[in-house]
């Protein structure tokens, strides 16, 4: 899990959308919901490989089950600055039934594909555990007690 590394600035907006979408579809009461949705997205992408151009979070979702990323070795690259596709693609494996689709994206929408792969990479390493807030003695001085005159009892 990614704990000590932030999401690079060039990925922040797309990563937020991807994380929100993936999280909202992860339902313990319906564990197949995410898989069904991702399969549906890929089926649409397979018919029209450029369908999600400009919608990188959806592209990432569509290819999530169809690619494998060697995140251990990709993490060795300095990803704080946006890498080239040539630097990223060596760490990506593609499922046989997705090769034609991914190849067309490589030829026609390389930038979107690269960003989608990086979103998946960071998502797979992302630790959503909230950081523990360090308590400071001064913080307790700022908390009013219920006897304070600052409360409006008619609210």
Q: Using an 8 Å Cβ cutoff, are 1 and 122 in contact?
A: no
pLDDT at 55: 96
Span 97-126, pLDDT tens digits: 999 999 999 999 999 999 999 999 999 987
Q: What is the value of pTM for the model shown?
A: 0.78
Q: What's the average model confidence in pLDDT over 135-140?
A: 52
In the chain, % of residues over pLDDT 90: 71
* Domains of the chain, residue spans: 9-131
Span 56-87, pLDDT tens digits: 999 999 999 999 999 999 999 999 999 999 99
More confident residue, 123 or 1: 123
Length of the chain in terms of residues written: 155
Span 11-61, pLDDT tens digits: 999 999 999 999 999 888 888 999 999 999 999 999 999 999 999 999 999
Q: What is the 3-state secondary structure (H, E, C) of 47-89?
A: HCCCCCCCCHHHHHHHHHHHEEECHHHHCCCCCCCCCCHHHHH
| Cα torsion 31, 14, 110, 74: sign | negative
Q: Using an 8 Å Cβ cutoff, are 114 and 67 in contact?
A: no
């Amino acid at each position: 899990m990614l704990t000590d590394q932030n999401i690079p600035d060039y990925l922040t907006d797309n990563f937020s959308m991807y994380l929100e979408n993936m999280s909202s579809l992860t339902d313990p009461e319906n564990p197949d919901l995410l898989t069904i949705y991702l399969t549906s997205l890929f089926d649409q992408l397979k018919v029209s490989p450029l369908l999600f151009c400009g919608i990188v979070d959806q592209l990432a979702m569509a290819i999530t089950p169809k690619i494998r990323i060697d995140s251990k070795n990709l993490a060795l690259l300095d990803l704080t600055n946006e890498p080239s596709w040539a630097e990223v693609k060596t760490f990506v494996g593609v499922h046989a039934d997705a090769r034609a689709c991914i190849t067309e994206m490589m030829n026609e929408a390389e930038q979107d594909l690269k960003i989608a792969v990086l979103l998946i990479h960071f998502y797979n390493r992302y630790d959503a555990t909230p950081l523990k807030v360090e308590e400071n003695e001064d913080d307790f001085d700022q908390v009013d007690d219920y006897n304070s005159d600052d409360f409006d009892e008619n609210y």
